[in-house]
Chains A and B, each alone.
Chain A
Amino acid sequence: MNFLRFGLRRLAEMAVTLLAASFVIFGAMYLAPGSPASFLLSGRSASPAALEAINRQYHLDDPFAVRYFRWLGQLLHGDFGRSITYRTDVSRLLADRLPSTLLLVAMALVLVVAAGLALGRIAAVRGGAVDSTILVTTTLAVGTPSFVAAVLLQGLFAVRLHWFPAGGTGDGPVQMLWHLTLPAVALALYLIGMLARVTRSAMVEVLGQEHVTVALSRGVPRRKVMGRHVFRNALGTVLTTGGLIVSTLLVCTVLVESAFGVGGIGQLLELSITTKDFPTVQAISLTMVGLFMLINLAVDLAHPLVDPRIALGPRRSAA
């Protein structure tokens, strides 16, 4: 009951934020200097009639409010408009390219969660030299932008060692996994470092709490205490970084897909920006913001599952 109300309220908030984001995205494009029409004609001088035809086709002459609400109305029907460069429906472009991006993000996410949690846990549990080593490594990882990682990985593992393809997306599931391995690692590296540090510091904080000593004093084996109490209790803190992790993954696909020539929406965004293909830019931006908000919502809704204190609300003092 409580949970349902919480979920509905968050959903409403999300709708409002998404609306605001759509306004910002559309407004930014509207204010852009240099019209898409002139780009379409790519410098060729066109007759006023041809120009007018283009303007009519893309509704470039209508007032701002009219264009915004028309765009919004079409969005609600799943219509993202037509790409100026590719001359097809943007929704079609998105549908073609979204799978590779989602696969890439999913692979990176698996890497981040598996390696980040494991490294953080090992650092907190083992301490000493292991901890210091992990701390130094993750300091470096946290300072390495995804595109730097992409170029370095490409140079070493693709060009020098030929272990992986240097770029492209590949056809078929196996080939795709194969092609997306290096990009996923490049995408994940920074976040592995971040998550490892968050996990470590959250666990170290829990380690200092009395209930851990109590569990040990009752003869619960240390390894079990680490899992059942320390790691388990640290998860709440770790989960709060979920939104940041996914938003970073999504935005950095632009860099990593460009570096590796992966045909996903990140690369499409980069291409559309250079060609001023505004409908596509708008659609991809909005998709990314929407995905990002969905993940944030999921994180918020998952929180009570990890921490029952949130689900139960304020403490009830029973007599």
Chain B
Amino acid sequence: MSVAVLRRPGLSRLRTPHAPLYLLCLAFVTVVVLAALLAPWISPADPNAVDLGNALAGPSAAHPFGVDSSGRDTLARLVTGARTSLLGPLGVVAFSTLAGVAIGTTAAWRGGWLDSVLSRSTELVFAFPGMLLAILIVAVYGEGLTAPVIALAVAYLPYVSRLTRSLVLAERQRPYVNAYVVQGHSAPQICLRHVLPNVGPVVLAQSTINFGYALIDLAGLSFLGLGVPALTPDWGRMVLDGQTAVQRGYPLSAIWPCVAIVLTVVAFNVVGERWADRVARRDR
């Protein structure tokens, strides 16, 4: 089978170097996801409690990661910020995966004009940088996470739909599909019960990789002050808030969210790549 996960080229054909790195990344992903889920209970302080007298103070027993220029606890904002920072990409990935699989499967199965229309529109979306689309949408709809999430989902959709289409086309050639057709099973039935479970793992690996990129894009929007509302704790927003402090020589409150973003993206990439490699090996 010649179909490979359509990765961003930066990661294509990369053999994830060592198993320990993968396990480390998997552990980090777990920690971040748990932090996001349990944020209200494990957050050490109120992420929005302003204490101007204590602004930009360094790490202390009360604030282990220090505080930002408004005196808000950095650790609390990081933990709570994990929620918005992960929820956005999750929405992007969920929407683009569902719609992409549906479109890709339909295009592959029905073929004909539907396929060419879908392929053409896919190419059109490919020609439009995803981040620019998101910026435009935010420009139009203003504050809020929904609009940019949908815009990015549309931008990521072609990655999934193109992959699904080629996978389903390959799967369709296999004799067992014909056997089901002969037995009188309906097309949606065969797709849902037999083809999709076989295609699923590859698509999932692709979506995991997309997650990291969606996180980068959404954090970038928050950094521009777009998307996430101003007071909501969010990693990209925290970098923006921290930037003035950086310029005044207090980099700590910006460094933490930067580290969180980089590590999370790297962890999702490594895990996704590992899965993609595993699926590729299984197919061989």
Give the residues in chain B near A31, CB-CB below 8 Å.
Answer: 140
* B12 and A143 form a contact (CB under 8 A): no
**Least Cβ distance of A252 to chain B in Å?**
8
> 0/1 per residue, A182-206, Cβ < 8 Å to B?
0000000000011101100100110
* B11 and A142 form a contact (CB under 8 A): yes
Partner of B247, one of A132, A136, A146, A154: A154
Give the residue name and chain of the A residue nearest to B224 (CB).
A270
Q: Flag whether A155 is at the interface (Cβ < 8 A).
A: yes
Q: Flag whether B124 is at the interface (Cβ < 8 A).
A: yes
A145-B216 CB under 8 A given contacts A34-B142, A194-B9: yes
Which residues of B from 210 to 237 have beta carbons under 8 Å from A? 212, 216, 219-220, 223-226, 236
Q: Flag whether A135 is at the interface (Cβ < 8 A).
A: yes
Complex: A252 Cα to B142 Cα, angstroms: 20
Give the residues in chain A near B135, CB-CB below 8 Å.
Answer: 251, 254, 269, 273
Known: A147-B223, A155-B251, A289-B127. 19 other contacts (CB 8 A): A32-B139, A32-B141, A33-B142, A139-B270, A143-B212, A143-B269, A145-B219, A147-B239, A151-B242, A152-B251, A154-B247, A156-B251, A159-B246, A166-B247, A194-B8, A198-B9, A204-B13, A254-B131, A258-B224
Partner of A28, one of B17, B129, B136: B136
**Least Cβ distance of A1 to chain B in Å?**
26
Q: Flag whether A140 is at the interface (Cβ < 8 A).
A: yes
* B139 and A276 form a contact (CB under 8 A): yes
Complex: A105 Cα to B8 Cα, angstroms: 21
A281-B139 CB under 8 A given contacts A17-B124, A201-B13: yes
Tally of contact residues, B, Cβ under 8 A: 50
Give the residues in chain A near B13, CB-CB below 8 Å.
Answer: 201, 204-205
- What are 27 residue pairs bridging A and B, where the CB atoms are less than 8 Å apart in the complex? A31-B140, A136-B17, A139-B270, A142-B11, A143-B269, A145-B219, A145-B265, A148-B219, A151-B239, A151-B242, A154-B246, A154-B247, A156-B251, A159-B251, A195-B10, A251-B135, A258-B223, A259-B223, A269-B135, A273-B135, A288-B129, A288-B132, A289-B127, A289-B129, A289-B132, A292-B129, A296-B127
Classify chain A: how many residues form its interface, as a range: 35 or more
Taking Cβ atoms with an 8 Å cutoff, the residues of B that contact A are: 8-14, 17, 123-124, 127-129, 131-132, 135-142, 212, 216, 219-220, 223-226, 236, 239, 242-243, 246-249, 251, 254-255, 258, 261-263, 265-266, 269-270
Give the residues in chain B near A147, CB-CB below 8 Å.
Answer: 219-220, 223, 236, 239
> 0/1 per residue, A246-290, Cβ < 8 Å to B?
011011101100110000000001101110100001000100110
Complex: A255 Cα to B236 Cα, angstroms: 11
Complex: A188 Cα to B84 Cα, angstroms: 27
Q: Flag whether A175 is at the interface (Cβ < 8 A).
A: no
* A251 and B141 form a contact (CB under 8 A): no
* A251 and B239 form a contact (CB under 8 A): no
Complex: A140 Cα to B216 Cα, angstroms: 13
* A193 and B10 form a contact (CB under 8 A): yes
Give the residues in chain B near A166, CB-CB below 8 Å.
Answer: 247
Give the residues in chain B near A201, CB-CB below 8 Å.
Answer: 12-14
* B262 and A144 form a contact (CB under 8 A): yes
**Least Cβ distance of A33 to chain B in Å?**
7
Give the residues in chain A near B12, CB-CB below 8 Å.
Answer: 197-198, 201
Give the residues in chain B near A288, CB-CB below 8 Å.
Answer: 129, 132
**Least Cβ distance of A37 to chain B in Å?**
16
Give the residues in chain A near B242, CB-CB below 8 Å.
Answer: 151
Give the residue name and chain of the B residue nearest to A131 (CB).
B17
Complex: A24 Cα to B137 Cα, angstroms: 10
Q: Flag whether A240 is at the interface (Cβ < 8 A).
A: yes
Q: Flag whether A54 is at the interface (Cβ < 8 A).
A: no
Give the residue name and chain of the B residue nearest to A238 (CB).
B9
Complex: A292 Cα to B246 Cα, angstroms: 33
